[in-house]
Structures are given as C-alpha cells and as structure tokens.
C-alpha cells in the first residue's frame, strides 16, 4: 500500500537539508516532479541551486527567505516574507503538481511564531494531499512530530566548526 507521507528531519546535527535533498534525488531518478522551498536561506550561492538548473522541468527550487533570523536587520520584514512563503507553499502542495515537496527550515517559522503552528500542522497532516511533504529544521514542534509518518532526529557528534573550520562549498552550502 502506498501513502503520501509527512516526513520530518529535525535535531541539532548537520544533515537535515542534505537528507531531504537526497530524497529529492531519489524521487527525480524515478521521474517524479519535486519542489524545494527554502524558508530561511537568503542570498548566499548554495550548491543545490546550481544543481537544480540541471534537472529541467522536474525540479523547481524557490529560495523565499531573507537569510538567517539571527542576522536579521528587520524581523517584521522576515515575518512578512515567511507568511508569503508559507502561503505559496500551501498553494504548491495543494496543486498536486509535485510528487515531493520539501519545506526546508519550515520549523523555524513555527518556532519564531511567524506562522500558526496548529494551522500549519493541520494543513500538513491532511491525508487528502497527493504528495509527500518533507519538513526540515531544528526544534520541530511536538505536534508536528506526532502528526508525521517518519521523523529523523539528526544528532551532532562532532562538527568541524568547533575546531575553527568554517562552512565550505559543497559541504555546508
């Protein structure tokens, strides 16, 4: 039996987005259409954006954030941008055009109260949708975890940043 899944990648370890993008590659390999929506990432040049161009019409990539909130110059504008991005994400999910929709760093919108968590979880857990939805980000709310079909918690064991090694192309971005 097949069922459209709600998948959550959470935790403080690296790899939440990486795992979601790996799932996207698997889906693309089967000829499925995939949409990735990044809620927090801003103007950096991420490697996944360069790759997205190579998949043609089967992969749509939307960077809809203003950057990381801890670097924000205007949290009100961040909230407005987040609400717009969430509204667009709901349209994309509801369209049924994509077999997989990845909502990268959506948990932060809930954590910062940019969107209503109860409403978001109700929407995401609707079993009438026609696609798999993957949510990534730290501090996934308990209600989202409870509603999900699959939850993976990334746990940091060791990270090069703690040894003074900064983010690198092809690894972190």
Confidence (pLDDT) at 166:
86
- Would you say the C-alpha torsion 99, 102, 106, 107 has a positive or negative sign? positive
Domain range list for the chain: 22-163
Question: Which residues have C-beta within 8 Å of that of residue 2, sequence separation ≥ 6?
Answer: none
CATH class of the 22-163 domain in this structure: alpha beta
Q: Whole-angstrom Cα distance, residue 24 to residue 18?
A: 10
Low-confidence residues of the chain: pLDDT under 70: 1, 41-47, 49, 66-73, 173
Confidence (pLDDT) at 63:
87
Q: Which residues pair with 152 in a beta bridge?
A: 9
Q: What is the DSSP letter of 54?
A: G
- Would you say the C-alpha torsion 53, 135, 112, 68 has a positive or negative sign? negative
Three-class SS state of 133? strand
CA 123 to chain CA centroid, Å, is 15
- The answer to whether 80 touches 114, Cβ cutoff 8 Å, is no
Q: What is the DSSP letter of 156?
A: -
Confidence (pLDDT) at 32:
96
Confidence (pLDDT) at 9:
98
Question: Which residues have C-beta within 8 Å of that of residue 20, sequence separation ≥ 6?
Answer: 7, 9, 36, 102, 104, 134, 136
Confidence (pLDDT) at 56:
78
Question: Which residues have C-beta within 8 Å of that of residue 97, sequence separation ≥ 6?
Answer: 33, 35
Confidence (pLDDT) at 78:
82
Confidence (pLDDT) at 170:
72
- Gap between the terminal Cα atoms of the chain: 37
């Amino acid at each position: 039996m097949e069922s459209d899944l709600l998948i959550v990648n959470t935790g403080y370890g690296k790899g939440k987005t990486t795992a979601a993008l790996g799932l996207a590659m698997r889906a693309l390999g089967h000829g499925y259409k995939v949409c990735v929506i990044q809620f927090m990432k801003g103007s950096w040049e991420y490697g996944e954006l360069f790759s997205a161009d190579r998949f043609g019409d089967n992969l749509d990539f939307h960077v809809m954030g203003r950057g990381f909130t801890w670097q924000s110059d205007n949290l009100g504008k961040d909230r407005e941008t987040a609400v717009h991005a969430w509204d667009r994400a709901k349209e994309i999910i509801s369209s049924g055009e994509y077999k997989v929709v990845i909502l990268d760093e959506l948990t932060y919108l809930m954590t910062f109260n940019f969107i209503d968590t109860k409403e978001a979880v109700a929407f995401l857990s609707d079993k009438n949708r026609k696609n798999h939805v993957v949510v990534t980000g730290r501090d996934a709310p308990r209600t989202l975890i409870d509603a999900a079909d699959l939850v993976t918690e990334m746990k940091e064991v060791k990270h090069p940043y703690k040894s003074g090694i900064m983010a690198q192309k092809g690894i972190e971005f």
